[in-house]
Amino acid sequence: MRGICRSLTSAIYAWSVASAAPTSNEEKSFKIHRRAIGGTEASNGAAALGKAYRKYGWELPQGFSNKVQVPQNISLKATGEDGIVKATPQENDVSFLSPIKVGGQTLMMNFDTGSSDLWVFNAHLPPEKTRGHSVYDPRKSSTFKLMQGASWRILYGDKSGAAGFVGTDTVDIGGAKVNDQAIELATTVSESFVRDVESDGLVGLGFGTINTVKPQKQKTFFENVISTLNEPVFTANLRHHTVGSYEFGRIDATQFKGPLTYVEIDPASGFWQIESKSFSVGNGPKQTNPNASPAIIDSGTSLMLADDAVVRAYWRQVPNAEMEGSSGLATFPCDAQLPDFHVALGPSYMATIPGPLMSFSRLSFENCVGGLQSNLGQDKQIFGDVLFKAQFVVFDGGNRAVGFAPHN
């Protein structure tokens, strides 16, 4: 698959979405560090699950809201070493943020392979909505241009969301610049985003076909920069309790063990979506998931959300684990020794997630929230950061594939 001619790249990205012009990037590859941000330990697991359900428009289970307490105050410290805001990860890695520049202004953003909008907190929001955030001010940028008549809106299943107007500006990620990249400026944001003070917005790295800008969808940063890269790829090298990175245009073979296994995606979905039809728990036999939903490889979701058959099979192997009735939240005694989880990525590759990574956060003094949760019977599985912390992941835009290998 890797041998497919790279000249196909330009044809692959000639979709019915508007594009911007990349500047001439001499290095042809670039790396961005991603830092783990921890929140209130007791609430992160339930809050992360609720956030994932909202993202995909899934209705929250009855009784679930009683479990969710979103952190109100999260303290960040600037190191003064490299201008990057750092935070010490707590027991779990709640979110991972990376710095970018928009019109020369630095923002800490969530890189999200499960969406395709680049939207920012900005000076057009009232002060009470931006407290604790760094904000982009288009009036301070000489390269900002208003996109006349364009708007965007993201609406989640619980009616939370964000909306606003659209412009273009120069976006710099790790030294690679795209001129006239579409920037979505929020003028309305729900309180869940306002309270998430560690993040100033989102860089969507899905496909432009699911971008929400109207009347014309816009290409993502990756789609716009891809023609300048040494290889039409970006990689996610995300680690547990330590700094990780994204790298565009290069695959660093020192960061993983063995060969990469590539899995074709379904481009019609707009996501980096693959098949996942089998699994095993610990040293147990391989099991088939007979009605398996396709799986989205999503760096913007903290947990893994799988079909009920998979989730129940795993937690049945953990003494006193529960999938709580009205909320559906999978919990277990914090002193339990969790088994490894082996999950199929494509038809032949089985990824191993070590047992310790299957624990996400504390819910109480005795009980913890699992990293593997139910997808509520929906038609998608969502493989988030629990998977990324065990696997080096390559997003191959040229061949429409995702590559996997264990971290070294």
Q: Give me the sheet containing 330-333, strands edge to edge.
A: 322-323, 330-333, 367-370, 359-362
Cis geometry, peptide bond prior to residue 215 (ω within 30 degrees of 0): yes
DSSP of 287-341: EE-TTPPPEEE-TT-SSEEE-HHHHHHHHTTSTT-EE-TTT--EEEETT--PPPE
Closest listed residue to residue 238, CA positions, set 37, 396, 390: 390
Closest listed residue to residue 393, CA positions, set 351, 358, 363: 351
Active-site annotation holds for 112? yes
Choosing from 93, 112, 172, 180, which is the catalytic residue?
112
Q: Dig out the tokens for 172 from the structure.
A: 């710099």
Q: What are residue 97's DSSP bridge partners?
A: 35
Q: What are residue 352's DSSP bridge partners?
A: 342
Choosing from 169, 196, 298, 396, which is the catalytic residue?
298
For residue 265, which phi and psi values (nearest 5 degrees)? -100, 165
Cβ atoms of 210 and 380 within 8 Å: the answer is no
Active-site annotation holds for 180? no
Cβ atoms of 227 and 20 within 8 Å: the answer is no
Q: Which residues are catalytic?
A: 112, 298
